[in-house]
Each structure stands twice: as structure tokens, then as C-alpha cells.
Amino acid sequence: MRHATIRDVAADAGVSIGTASKALNGQGRLRPETRERVAEAARRLGFAPNPLAQALLAGRTYTVGMITTDSFGRFSIPVMLGAEDALGAGRISVFMCDTRDDPEREHRYLEMLIGRRVDGLIVTGRRIEPRPPIGAGLGVPVVYAMTQPDGSGGPDGPVGSAVLPDDVGGGAAAGAHLLETGRRHIAHITGPERFLAARLRARGLRGVLAPGGVPLAAGEVLYGEWSERWGREAAGLLLRRAPATDAIFCGSDQIARGVGDALRAAGRRVPDDIAIVGFDNWEPMVLGADPPLSSVDMCLEDIGRAAAEDLLAAIGGEPARGVRTVPGRLVVRASSASASS
């Protein structure tokens, strides 16, 4: 079946193709009766405007590029799902490009996306450390999610706004929960100190312990690796240095799994003797643990939604400024039950 074209509508309405196009797109200075005659012809013929043509007339392609350095998708996929929700369930398409931490690959993807005339860019990754800006003078707005641009964007400062998880708030939530359940000898085992997220989570924990005069078990944060192996090693070290430990906040769920294994091997019961709280709320880890792990959820989809909303505002001429955080939430499971239960 042949579909009606703009040429058919123009002929039926007795106007030029240009006039028919202006009438259907609300452009030009036309008489009301001309617009109505063209609209009636379009209804009668069942004419459906070409979405791409309309987008081009509006100076939009209704596409957004997402550039990620998270090859495993552990963080970028939930962020993308949240962004797609905010971008309108199919009304705006998302091109996702994995750079694999390769600057040259990133540059090629950037050229491809700009060549496709995307309306904007979301840059995401697995670390919140400042990174070099994706580029200046691109002609499209840029929003960062789960990462942020450093200050090398020139005299005007960083290029683009950023949406990050609230790592400080997450550490504070874990500490407050452990205090509420009666724990007073709380340790913290986390990843490498060079990671900003590890330092911020530790800061959040210290912030809720200090007002009550509760020192960290072992006297310091145990920085190491983001791995189950480090969790096992650190738990053994902790039991030797601070045997009275009754709770451990872990900087990741992988570390928490390793801690749980070591405690079980040492004859310590979880949560009766020692409670455990992880970070990330990564379901394969937290639900596969015995007992299931309490964990801080970064709410990655919310971060994606917030980044997409900022991008839409920027596309509309109202760019967001600076860095903002999205609150996480503590999901309580059996690993951190009350000490008195």
C-alpha cells in the first residue's frame, strides 16, 4: 500500500510543497484558512509526517551519545537504563560506546557521535575521580555520570556538569545502622586509598562514629583492594589486632563476601558475633552470601535519570552547573541484625 507524501497533500490542498510543509510544521506566515485546508488534506489522505524530517527541521536528531569506560557494564548499564527512562522510552535513542579506557578509541567514538549530530552526550565510568573533559567546543551539551571532568576545561572551568553517588552519605548510613543495632567496635575494610570513593565512604563512617566517641576498631581504616581475597586477608588481620570487633563496614560487596568467608572459617558467627555491611548492593554478591548481605545501594538508575534530565535541560538551553550527588539507600538484610536479637 502506497503511503501519502507531502507532495500528495500539497496537490490535494492546491498549494505548493513548501507551503504544505510550512503549514504542517507550524512555520511561516500563512493564512489560517490555508493551514486548515492543508491539515484537512493531510487527515483525508492519512498523511504521517516523517519523524526524521521533522527532527531535522527542528535542528534535532533525537539521539544522545553515551561514552563509557566501564567495560564490564557493572555501573554503566544501570546508569544507561535510568537515562533511557528519563529520555522518554524510545522517543530519544541512545548510542552507547565503550572506550575500554583507551583515549584514541574515545576520540574516534566522539568524532562518530558528533558526525551523527547527536543532541548531547552522557559520559560515564566506574570511578568518580576527575577525568580529562571529553572535549571543548563540541557544539553539544555534555553531562557526566559516575565520573566528573577535571578543571582543565580552560578559563571557564570544567566542561559539563556531573552527577555522582553520595559516597559520604552511604558511609554515614552504614555507620548509623550499625550503631543503632548496638555495635560499638566497628571496623572499616575497603579498597585502595587512592580511590576517591574509598576515602569518601570512610569519611562518612567516621562522621557518625566520632560524635558518640566510638573509635574505629584496629584504630584505622584498612585500605587494600576491591576483592574477596583482600576481604579474607583483612578480616584475619582485624581479628588479631582487634578481637573485640563486633561489626565491619566493607567498602564493596566483594570485600564483604571475603570478610564473611574468613569470619566463618574463624568460628565467628554473622551477625551474632560480628555484623557485616557491604557497599554497591550488587545482587549476585549480596544474595549469594550466607547470610545475605546488608549493603548500601548507590541507586545507579537514579543517577542515570538525573544525568539525562540535566542533559535535556541543557539541550533546552538551561544547562546545570557543577557537581551534584544522588542519595543512596541502605538495604538491610540478615548480615547486620541487632546485636541483641
Q: What is the pLDDT of residue 152?
A: 43
Fold for 167-298+331-336, please state it.
Rossmann fold (3.40.50)
Largest CA distance in the chain: 91
Q: 190-202, pLDDT tens digit by residue?
A: 999 999 999 999 9
- Measured in residues, the chain has a length of 341
Enumerate residue ranges in the chain where pLDDT < 50.
52, 56-57, 152-158, 341
* Rounded Cα distance, 169 and 141, in Å: 29
Which grid cell sits at 158? 570544567
Domain boundaries, the chain: 6-49, 63-164+300-326, 167-298+331-336
Give the C-alpha separation, 315 to 139, whole Å. 11
DSSP state of 123: E
Pairwise CA distance, residues 109 & 70, whole Å: 15
Where b means 16+ CB within 10 Å and e means fewer, 295-321 reads: bbbbbbbbbbbbbbbbbbebbeeeebe
Q: Where do runs of H (alpha helix) occur along 210-265? A: 228-241, 253-265
Find the Cα–Cα–Cα–Cα dihedral 181, 182, 185, 186, rounded to 10°.
Answer: 20
Cell readout for 297 is: 545501594
Q: In terms of DSSP bridges, do strands 294-297 and 329-331 run parallel, antiparallel, or are they unpaired?
A: antiparallel
Query: Do the first three CATH levels of 63-164+300-326 and 167-298+331-336 match, i.e. the same topology?
Result: yes
For 326, the enclosing helix (H) or strand (E) is: strand 323-326
Instruction: Give residue 154's pLDDT.
Output: 41
The DSSP code for 95 is: E
Assigned C-alpha cell, 18: 513548501
Backbone angles phi, psi at 290, to 5 degrees: -130, 105
Nearest to 67 by CA among 119, 125, 24: 125
Q: What are phi and psi of 296, to 5 degrees?
A: -90, 125
CA angle centred on 241, ends 193 and 231, rounded to 5°: 45
Distance of CA 288 to the CA centre of its chain: 24
pLDDT at position 156 is 42
Fold of domain 63-164+300-326: Rossmann fold (3.40.50)
Is residue 269 a contact partner of residue 241, using CB atoms and an 8 Å limit?
Answer: no
Phi and psi dihedrals of 87, rounded to 5?
A: -85, 0
DSSP state of 136: S
Cα separation of the two ends of the chain: 72
pLDDT at 319: 86
Cα angle 126, 129, 134 (rounded to 5 degrees) comes to: 80
pTM: 0.80
* Helix 253-265 / helix 228-241 crossing angle, nearest 10 deg: 50
One-letter identity of residue 72: F
**CATH architecture of structural domain 6-49:** Orthogonal Bundle (1.10)
Residue type, position 109, single letter: Y
